[in-house]
Amino acid sequence: MKILIVEDSRSNLMLLTEYIRRLGATVLPAENGAAAVASFDRERPDLVLLDVILPDIDGFEVARRIRAIEQGGDWTPIIFLSSLDKDKDVEQGIMAGGDDYLLKPVSEIVLGAKVRAMGRLIEMRASLVKLASELDKANQDLQRLSASDGLTGIANRRYFDDCLTREWRRARRGGGGHHLALMMCDVDHFKKFNDTYGHQAGDECLRRVAGAIATSLERGSDVAARYGGEEFVVLLPETPIGGALIVAEKIRRAVQALNIPHSASSHSRVTLSIGLAATVPELDNAADSLIAAADRALYEAKNNGRNRVVRAPPLTAA
């Protein structure tokens, strides 16, 4: 334990130093306020024993500066040492950032008890901080798991639904001109793939396809999700149809480049059909209309030979 002792009287400083060393702690001495603040900033002690009356700045100002140095959830106990015994002096010390107030001359027994009590508080606080950190991580992990598809690791259907609703409302609040693009993607002849290679190979295929889709997206706002079975969905906020076509074609080529053998497909490897739609969300149309348009385009892509991107016609208000 490191304890910063701020005391301008050398005799008192030596006495306090001896008391603290008997407790098994390391002493950081300072004889004025400026030196105390510098030492605190440099050494970050576990506890501060702070004289109120100092030759340059008083102990109350030192305490305020120490509190200003501390970051975020940092906390270092400060015990004031003073011969000032009025209630207002104690109040001023606490208001300045102090945690306790001892009157001079300081008793070794009382000081030892205070230091040990503060030590227990420090240990308890460290345990609470650790527990809070572990709880926060557990909550983050739980949130991530609840938003992820268990097989592929990308976002799941529920997370996608929430994102679509949120982005649709945000685009409408933008006052017009905010495009939203969506693509429905289907692994071509996936049932035949499962029948030919088995379900374990099918699962691995879906994982690799999901990875190819996700890595084809460059913006943090873009969302790739497993929609269900062998179907995936991609949401592109602030993206008109021209930009979405480029992304869709990039995804199609990325899946084809995986070169996963598929003897039951006319393309001899795993490919992806993509239906694409884009619109400017307004009050008189609904998010479901974008999904329906992309789904119709996907159906057309599959009927026209698969392994292609088909763009839906512009959406009209319902």
Tokens of 130: 């650790």
Which long-range contacts link 172-176 to residues 24+ away (Cβ below 8 Å)?
Answer: 172/281, 172/282, 172/283, 176/280, 176/282
Q: What is the pLDDT of residue 134?
A: 83
Is 267 strand, coil or helix? coil
- For residues 282 and 311, the answer to whether their CB atoms sit within 8 Å is no
Strand spans (E) along 41-131: 47-51, 78-82, 100-103
Active-site residue 61, yes or no?
A: no
Question: Which backbone phi and psi does 136 adopt, to 5 degrees?
Answer: -65, -45
Identify the CATH class of 157-311: alpha beta
pLDDT cut 90: percent of the chain above it:
65
Position 176 confidence tier, pLDDT thresholds 50, 70, 90: low
Residue with tokens 């039951």: 264
Within 8 A by CB and 6+ apart from 113, the residues are none
pLDDT in tens, 109-160: 998 898 888 888 888 888 887 888 888 887 777 776 678 998 999 999 999 9
| 276, 248 Cβ separation under 8 angstroms | yes
The confidence band for 67, taking pLDDT boundaries of 50, 70 and 90, is very high
Quote the Cα angle for 273-279-285, to 5°.
Answer: 115
Q: Is the peptide bond before 237 cis (omega within 30 degrees of 0)?
A: no
Nearest to 156 by CA among 169, 138, 144, 166: 144
pLDDT at residue 43 tops 90: yes
How crowded is residue 262: how many other Cβ atoms within 10 Å of its Cβ? Answer: 21
Triad 314, 233, 297: Cα angle to 5°: 35
Percent of the chain with pLDDT strictly greater than 70: 96
Cα 206 from chain centroid (whole Å): 28
pLDDT in tens, 69-81: 998 778 899 999 8
Dig out the tokens for 61 from the structure.
């100002």
Residue ranges per structural domain of the chain: 2-129, 157-311
Q: What is residue 88's predicted lDDT score, i.e. its pLDDT?
A: 86
In this predicted structure, the answer to whether residue 317 has a pLDDT above a threshold of 60 is no
What is the maximal distance between C-alpha atoms in the chain?
A: 95
pLDDT(9) > 50: yes
pLDDT tens for 258-299 read 999 999 999 999 999 999 999 988 766 788 999 999 999 999
pTM of the entire predicted model = 0.60
DSSP 98: -
How far is 120 from 272, CA to CA, in rounded Å? 62
26 versus 84: the higher-pLDDT residue is 26
Whether 245 contacts 309, CB under 8 Å: yes
Q: Which pLDDT value is given to residue 164?
A: 94
Say if residues 256 and 269 touch (Cβ distance below 8 Å): yes
pLDDT of residue 175: 63
pLDDT in tens, 197-208: 999 999 999 999
pLDDT of 187 over the 90 cut: yes
Nearest of 265, 254, 259 to residue 191 by alpha carbon: 265
Q: Which of 61, 123, 230, 300 is catalytic?
A: 230
Query: What is the edge-to-edge ordering of all strands in the sheet holding 78-82?
Result: 26-30, 2-6, 47-51, 78-82, 100-103
Determine the pLDDT at residue 102.
86
What pLDDT sits at residue 163? 92
Q: Name the fold adopted by 2-129.
A: Rossmann fold (3.40.50)
